[in-house]
Structures are given as structure tokens and as C-alpha cells.
Amino acid sequence: MKDRLEFYRDLGITTLYRRPSADAAVTVDPTIHVGTASTAVIPAAPATAPDLPPLQPDADTLLKIIEDMGDCRRCRLHEHRHKIVFGSGAGNASLVFVGEGPGADEDAQGLPFVGRAGQLLTQMIEGTAKKEGIALLRDQAYICNVVKCRPPDNRTPEPDEMEICGQFLFRQLMVIRPKAICALGGTAAKALLGAREGVTKLRGKWHKWRDIPVMVTYHPSYLLRPYNQNAKRESWEDLKKVLHFVYD
């Protein structure tokens, strides 16, 4: 229960409602205030579990998550998408990269980070690993996004869209259980950490998503802009820290 409440709080959900059983002695308002879960007054417990959706189904797998997503129409992002972009890479990866959302190339192919930003990410992963003496190819890591459908005109995902897709990102990360996560850009950092600070303040040091270390760095699309030379150097430094932590 505690884990579930913390998860919903991180998604921005502040109140959950629980249906009491027919014979439960309910003498208080059956409301759970997520932000103050430790002091909430909860009705007398029925014999069955509360009506909260499971965070992670038993024996969960990436294939089961894909099946549960189906032809997802849970939010407005489905209206203009061509393909759901679930993720790619090794299902037992020690390192997971989380980006913001699919772009036009990703929407067309159904794969994450295949456009210009994706090509740069591949160079960053494989080039940095090679220079640091680490045997790593991109497909040995796992790459996914906060939202699985392309936002119109590549806009930033809205909070409700991130909340709805967040359940699938949560399950992906819990299934893979990587040694570390690299959050690419501010949207990924907000989704994973609930952070209000920008990337420049968050990057370069370790954070935690549940019990998994998280390193925040710049999104590759930001690094493609010609005036961001300092950010490129900082991103390479961040990636070096991640690679040595995970693979040394």
C-alpha cells in the first residue's frame, strides 16, 4: 500500500477513493490523501484488497506490458500518432535511457531514437564506451520514452499524458531492474524524479528512482543545436560516470 501511494503521489495524483465492502463498518470518509498517507484515516479493512490497480502485475514482462497497452487510446496523443513507440534494446539491460517522447522518425518506424537525435545518442553511447575501454553497443542497453506516442509538433507532453503513460514506464523499469537509469532531458527527469529544477542543476550527480540510481543529462536533440558546445562536453562527462558505474 505504501509503495502504491508513493507512486501515485509522484504522478501528481493527490486523492484516491476506496469503495467499502457491504459489511464494512465505515465511520469515516473513505478517502486516502496521497500526500499524507501516513496520517490518513482509512475505513475498516474488508476481507479483500482495496480497489487500487496493481502497480506491477505478477510475473510481469515487457511482452505483457505491450499486450496490456494494446492499441492504446487512453489519452489524446493517440489521435495523430502512426505507431506506438514502446522501447528497444536488451530486456535484461544494466542501463536504461529514458527520453521524452517519439519524434516524426520514431512515429513512422515505431522505434525510439532513430532520427538525428537518436543517431547522436548512438554515437554518444558507443563512442564514449569505446574511449573508456568498455565493450558496449547501443542495443545492449534499453531505450524508451516517458510517453509512447508522438506529441503533436513535438511539443512537451502534458502532465496528464505523462501520468497515463507513466504506468507503462514504471512497469518497464520494474521488469528490467537496471543497475542505473540515464534521464535524457528535463521531461524525463520530471517524470522519474518529480524534479522542478532544470537539467543544468540536476545533471552531474546521482539521484534515485525508487532504489535505482539515476543520472540526468541533456537530451540529444538539445545537443544538436550548434551553440550548445558546453552542454555537449557536460553530457559526455555525465555519460562517462554512468558507464563506469554500471560496467566497471
Q: What is the pLDDT of residues 146-162, one digit of tens each?
A: 999 999 999 999 999 99
- Strand 95-99, strand 142-145: pairing: parallel
CATH number of 62-247: 3.40.470.10
Residue 55, Cβ density class (10 Å: 0-12 exposed, 13-18 middle, ≥19 buried):
middle
159: phi then psi, degrees, rounded to nearest 5: -55, -40
Residues 100 and 214 sit within 8 Å (Cβ to Cβ): no
pLDDT reported for residue 31: 42
Q: Where in the chain is the domain with CATH 3.40.470.10?
A: 62-247
- Strand 212-217, strand 180-184: pairing: parallel
- Which residue has better confidence, 153 or 5? 153
C-alpha span between 52 and 82 (Å, rounded): 32
Residues 194 and 162 sit within 8 Å (Cβ to Cβ): no
The CA-atom distances, in angstroms, between 86 and each of 112, 229, 239 are 8, 31, 23
The CA-atom distances, in angstroms, between 248 and each of 89, 155, 181, 241 are 20, 37, 16, 10
C-alpha span between 201 and 195 (Å, rounded): 10
| Beta-bridge partners for 88 | 143
pLDDT reported for residue 81: 96
Residues 145 and 99 sit within 8 Å (Cβ to Cβ): yes
C-alpha span between 215 and 70 (Å, rounded): 31
pLDDT band at 229 (very low <50, low <70, confident <90, very high): confident
pLDDT band at 57 (very low <50, low <70, confident <90, very high): confident
pLDDT reported for residue 15: 61
